Structure 1
Amino acid sequence: MDPTAHHYAITVSDLDRMVTFYRDVLGLDVLAEFTVGGEAFATGVDVPGASAEFVHLDGGDARMELVEYGPEGDRRPRPSLNEPGATHLGLEVDDLDSVYAELPDSVDTLSEPQTTESGTRILFVRDPEGNLVELLET
């Protein structure tokens, strides 16, 4: 087996709002929009009666997938990076300070941009549903 990354996914409750954030605030291009349903899908995701709307965004070497399920599941607690099983999306940018300066005031950040011991500059933000996104400049 020689797998390669195809996509990274975030399940969302408001697909339109999330597409607006990732497209308009973070600058990811929309590649595809589609709906999937039927018994094979419901069985494959182990959610009885499931259907979902998908949007694929251009994440460089792999797609970023936003998916809104019907029926919607229970909400998870707001994630913290030091919890086992915590996830975040990492997006590399050319100029972190410019990105930070251009973020709308409504975007929740964990801190101002920081330079780590390795020399990487990082900035963690939360998307409109509280998912963590690391913006980094190497």
Structure 2
Amino acid sequence: MTAEALSAHHVGLTVTDLEETLAFYRDVLGLSVADRFSVGGEAFADAVGIEGASADFAHLEADGVRIELVEYDPEARGSPAAGLNQPGASHVGLSVDDLESFYETLPDDVPTISEPRTSETGTTILFLRDPEGNLIEVLEA
């Protein structure tokens, strides 16, 4: 148990092209940009455990949830787990009032796993991928 209570601050996604990914979250998903900044220096590199690291950040607001996009230099190569059932897999969850309308307005080049589907819990869900391949769940409860 920690001495001080924790509270959520943000959900972070590491990307290789901050500008393209930021444009997707802002222009396609309609999230607002709350902040943009860069960080570097020895303290940052030590904190993230990457020699000589610096990074560019964009924070987006999604109804009280902050999504942090970060592009590192140096960039590592690798890919996140491909499927949701893989250990370490992650996704960002966003909700809408009308998922069918949202789905119909998605640009044709946005990859989705399927059309909206209603699960046995009664929640309608849609999984799509951002330009970096990160999974985003859009749901209508």
Q: Given the two structures, how large is their TM-score scaled by the length of structure 2?
A: 0.95
Aligned residues: CA RMSD: 1.0
Match of 1:50 in 2: 53
Match of 1:62 in 2: 65
Match of 1:29 in 2: 32
Unaligned ranges ≥5, structure 1: none
Evaluate the alpha carbon distance shift between residue 131 and residue 91 of structure 1 in structure 2; reply closer, same or farther with a 3 A threshold: same
Unaligned ranges ≥5, structure 2: none
Partners in 2 of 1:78 and 1:130 — Cα distance?
10
Match of 2:132 in 1: 129
Contact 2:125/2:139, CA 8 A, preserved across alignment: yes
* Identity across the alignment (%): 58
Match of 1:80 in 2: 83
Aligned length: 138
Contact 1:78/1:130, CA 8 A, preserved across alignment: no
Partners in 2 of 1:97 and 1:86 — Cα distance?
26
Contact 1:79/1:132, CA 8 A, preserved across alignment: no
Match of 1:7 in 2: 10
Partners in 1 of 2:24 and 2:99 — Cα distance?
17
SS in 2 for 1:27: coil
SS in 2 for 1:135: strand
Q: After superposition, what is the alpha-carbon deviation per residue over 1:26-46, rounded to whole angstroms, capped at 9, x for unaligned?
A: 010000000000111000000
Q: Given the two structures, how large is their TM-score scaled by the length of structure 1?
A: 0.97
Detail structure 1 runs of 4+ shifted over 6 Å in the superposition. Answer: none
1:3 is displaced (CA, Å) by 1.2
